[in-house]
Structure 1
Amino acid sequence: MSHQNLRDSLGYAQDFSFDFEPEFFSDSTSDQIDDAARKWLAELAMKYERDIHLQPRMWRLLEDLAGIGGTCSPGDHQTLGFNDRTHMRKNVVDLERFKLVTSSRDETDQRRRSIEMTSKGWLVYYSRSQGLINPTLPGFST
């Protein structure tokens, strides 16, 4: 869910482990721990969902970005269904505001920008794709 980002995966694992007493891990089966982890992730995703208010086009951009591996450049605007970079950038700014993606400049060529999904973006994407986040819930902004 954090798309192979070990640091973020370990951060989620640490947060999960701090929410339980140590005895839970020693007294539970692996299936019980797995179920608890899935529930914990679903609750985290629901918390994120409550804080995120995106328009349908922004959700589609997040989904399309995940579909191409989670990274792109502004030059990929047509691949992601935009007529020009400006329209794509407006949607990226909102995704950045909710910390679902980050934009950065290439260190060797300041003209080049890259857009990358964050671990939070991957978790939200995964949760939506698995039905953990329900876009028909009251308060869900689409």
Structure 2
Amino acid sequence: MAEPIDIKPIDDVSAEKALLKRIEVYSMGEAKAPVEAEGFGHIYRIGNRNLRNALKYCEDFSLWAYLEGNLTEDSQDKLKLIEAWMAETADRYEQDTSGVGNRAWRVFDDLIAQGGAASPSEYEQFGYETQQAMRPQLKLLEDANLIESAIDESDKRRRTIVVTSRGWIVNYKRSGFEVS
């Protein structure tokens, strides 16, 4: 198989249209989807416009809503329920970050400001004099599942640090539940 190709996220409107088309194609009669376009768009934006992660969180929400008996037909009620569920999820994820200190949070915030990806060799942009000085902060963030590092497939010596889907949700909580 060929190597995956990195592509930019689709715009918000197209993402919502894609979900509507998916609902139309897979619709089973009168059944209503627990997540409609506006709710999907909300989750999509929280997760830094990652389509795969947005669909996963929609599935998680749908299962939760079903098991809790929180299925509703009203679109506005669905959106409010998604927002409440996402806030609850963000609270739960943030509780798992107790080991992350102020210096690590600064690195995390700077990484978010850069779009969620950087190389450890860019340590000066994060206020460090050496890559080794920044490493403990990255370890704390990685241990809290807020970031992950990957080896560049084209240059095995180069590493990339990226914010995880959990990290984007924690960022949503830390930003006062603001969606960019």
1:28 Cα offset (Å): 3.4
1:41 to 71, 81, 86: 86
1:131 Cα offset (Å): 5.3
Q: Which amino acid aligns with 1:11?
A: K
2:177, 2:65 → 1: CA distance? 25
2:165, 2:80 → 1: CA distance? 21
Report the aligned-residue RMSD: 1.8
2:146, 2:70 → 1: CA distance? 32
1:64 aligned partner: 110
1:24 Cα offset (Å): 4.8
Deviations 1:86-133 (A, max 9, x none): 12111111111111111111112111111000111111011110259x
Identity %: 36
1:128 aligns with 2:174: yes
The answer as to whether partners of 2:90 and 2:172 remain within 8 angstroms in 1 is no
2:102, 2:52 → 1: CA distance? 30
2:4 aligned partner: none
Once the two structures are superposed, the pairs formed by residues 1-142 of structure 1 within 5 Å of their partners are: 1-21=46-66, 24-25=70-71, 27-53=72-98, 54-130=100-176
Structure-2-length-normalised TM-score? 0.68
1:20, 1:30 → 2: CA distance? 14
Larger radius of gyration: 2
The SS at the match of 1:79 is helix
The more displaced of 61-70 and 73-82 is 73-82
Q: Which amino acid aligns with 2:51?
A: L
1:28, 1:80 → 2: CA distance? 47
Q: Which runs of 5+ in 1 are unaligned?
A: 133-142
Structure-1-length-normalised TM-score? 0.84
1:17, 1:64 → 2: CA distance? 33
1:125, 1:82 → 2: CA distance? 22
Count of paired positions: 131
